[in-house]
């Protein structure tokens, strides 16, 4: 009897200590959990400095930004002076790419749908997912966001870019490393250079996306992609590509609506570097002859360049240098309205960030003297040129002076 009682007591003690042990573990986990969220979100701040905008048909300006893990959208009916209350596009907190060339984008289809894309940064280095969300009710609500690619492995899918053509066909392109990962596993003799570009298309106004396709191998890993359309609505893309010998010049491609892809080399700067330039190009359609291009080249003759490329023969004009390389001239934006071409870029000096604008009145053949058009003392985004009813605007977000929308002559 005594022995049984003793054994019982032993078992109870053991049980008690097990329960205590688990209580401690749960307590520890709770503490750890609190700490992690504390160190992630302990800092309070407003929206990050990047902003992307687009006019709808009625002249309302739609703006997307990132704020503490949410993509937020608001709108302005007075050309950027006052904005509506913003709404969240994603319901669940995410880490959203806003550094370097990364930022959420907004664009509006011909039928009036509002589309937003962004890159969610995942836990492993350099990894991400490309998200897409649509509003069918003029920005009152956004539908549940979707990932545009079918490959959901935790690898690089970053630097989203979106284009909607005149028929409402949506084209989303991004930098993707699935082929690099595959090459690593296969241990091929020849090293896989860089990343790849992939794209996904929606032909039902953003309801769903078709399976993604590859544009090219060995693109640069960390530069934004420039997109525009030809007159028929096919995609014309421009990006930094890794050529033989590790030279990072730019390529242009026509990707037609039947997924035929023709790629050509567009720039010949010869910048040889194994690095992340964080510096992608801009492209826009000119007249019947072809496209305007602007890009940054590093190395000994570092600086900002402009060139034209023929749309049939894909021959580039000699490049023309813009801006002051001593003041970090770079991150260009291009806009073409009839024969008038606008080229804006950012520079930095001891005291300011500022935007410089150059204008051509003859389709980019000759250029008027470039002018500083706006400055700010604090951090600022890269410039964006947009248009409404054939009128040009510069969109520029700054921390100190707030959001700026400037009507251009």
Partner 1 sequence: MKLKIFLFFLFFSHLSFAYEFMPFDMNTRKVIEKRYIDQPLIISFWSIDCPYCINDLKKLGKALSKNTNVKLITVCVDGKESAIKAERILNQANLPKHEQYQYAEVDEDRLRYNIDPAWYGELPRTYFYDAAHQVTPLSGKISNSFLDKWFKK
Residues within the interface to partner 1 (CB under 8 A): 24, 27-28, 31-32, 35, 39-40, 43, 49, 99-100, 123, 125-126, 221-222, 273-279, 296, 298, 302, 326-328, 330, 346, 348-350, 353, 378-380, 399
With beta carbons less than 8 A apart as the criterion, state whether 252 and 235 touch: no
CB of 408 to partner 1, least distance (A): 23
CB of 344 to partner 1, least distance (A): 16
Please say which residue, 315 or 379, places its beta carbon nearer to partner 1. Answer: 379
Please say which residue, 20 or 166, places its beta carbon nearer to partner 1. Answer: 20
CB of 137 to partner 1, least distance (A): 34
Query: In terms of residues, how long is the chain?
Result: 409
Please say which residue, 39 or 186, places its beta carbon nearer to partner 1. Answer: 39
Going by their DSSP bridges, the two strands 303-310 and 235-243 should be labelled as unpaired
> What are the Cα distances from residue 15, in Å, to 3, 11, 12, 196?
18, 6, 5, 57
CB of 407 to partner 1, least distance (A): 26
Question: By three-state DSSP, how is residue 199 classified?
Answer: strand
Going by their DSSP bridges, the two strands 330-337 and 340-348 should be labelled as antiparallel
CB of 185 to partner 1, least distance (A): 17
- 272 burial via Cβ count (<10 Å: 0-12, 13-18, 19+): middle
Please say which residue, 18 or 31, places its beta carbon nearer to partner 1. Answer: 31
CB of 369 to partner 1, least distance (A): 23
Please say which residue, 48 or 284, places its beta carbon nearer to partner 1. Answer: 48
Question: By three-state DSSP, how is residue 394 classified?
Answer: strand
Q: Which residues of 224-255 are buried (b: 16+ CB within 10 A; e: fewer)?
A: bbbbbbeeebbbbbbbbbbbeeebbbbbbbbb
Tokens of 398: 């700054």
Please say which residue, 23 or 214, places its beta carbon nearer to partner 1. Answer: 23
């Amino acid at each position: 009897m005594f022995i049984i009682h003793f054994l019982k007591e032993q078992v109870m003690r053991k049980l008690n200590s097990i329960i205590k042990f688990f209580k401690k573990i749960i307590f520890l986990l709770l503490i750890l959990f609190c700490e992690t969220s504390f160190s992630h979100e302990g800092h309070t701040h407003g929206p990050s400095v990047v902003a992307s905008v687009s006019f709808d048909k009625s002249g309302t300006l739609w703006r997307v930004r990132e704020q503490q893990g949410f993509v937020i959208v608001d709108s302005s009916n007075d050309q950027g002076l006052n904005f509506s209350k913003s709404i969240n596009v994603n319901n669940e907190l995410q880490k959203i790419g806003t550094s370097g060339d990364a930022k959420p984008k907004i664009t509006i289809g011909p039928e009036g749908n509002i589309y937003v894309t962004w890159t969610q940064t995942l836990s492993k280095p350099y990894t991400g997912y490309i998200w897409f969300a649509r509003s069918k009710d003029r920005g009152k609500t956004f539908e549940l966001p979707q990932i545009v690619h079918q490959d959901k492995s935790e690898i690089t899918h970053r630097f989203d870019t979106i284009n909607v053509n005149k028929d409402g066909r949506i084209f989303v392109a991004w930098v993707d490393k699935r082929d690099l990962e595959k090459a690593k596993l296969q241990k091929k003799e020849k090293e896989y250079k860089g990343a790849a570009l992939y794209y996904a298309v929606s032909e039902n106004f953003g309801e769903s996306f078709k399976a993604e396709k590859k544009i090219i191998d060995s693109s640069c890993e960390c530069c934004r992609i420039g997109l525009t359309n030809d007159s028929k609505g096919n995609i014309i893309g421009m990006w930094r590509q890794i050529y033989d010998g590790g030279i990072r010049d730019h390529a242009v491609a026509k990707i037609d609506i039947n997924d035929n892809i023709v790629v050509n080399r567009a720039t010949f700067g010869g910048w040889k570097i194994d690095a992340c330039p964080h510096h992608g190009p801009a492209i826009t359609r000119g007249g019947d002859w072809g496209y305007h291009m602007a890009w940054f080249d590093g190395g000994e003759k570092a600086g900002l360049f402009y060139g034209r490329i023929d749309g049939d023969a894909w021959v580039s004009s000699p490049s023309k240098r813009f801006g002051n390389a001593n003041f970090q001239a770079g991150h260009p934006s291009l806009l073409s309205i009839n024969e008038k071409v606008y080229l804006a870029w950012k520079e930095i000096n001891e005291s300011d960030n500022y935007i410089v604008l150059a204008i051509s009145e003859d389709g980019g053949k000759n250029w008027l003297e470039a002018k500083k058009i706006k400055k700010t003392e604090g951090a600022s985004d890269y410039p964006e040129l947009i248009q409404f009813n054939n009128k040009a605007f510069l969109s520029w977000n700054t921390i100190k002076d707030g959001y700026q929308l400037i009507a251009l002559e």
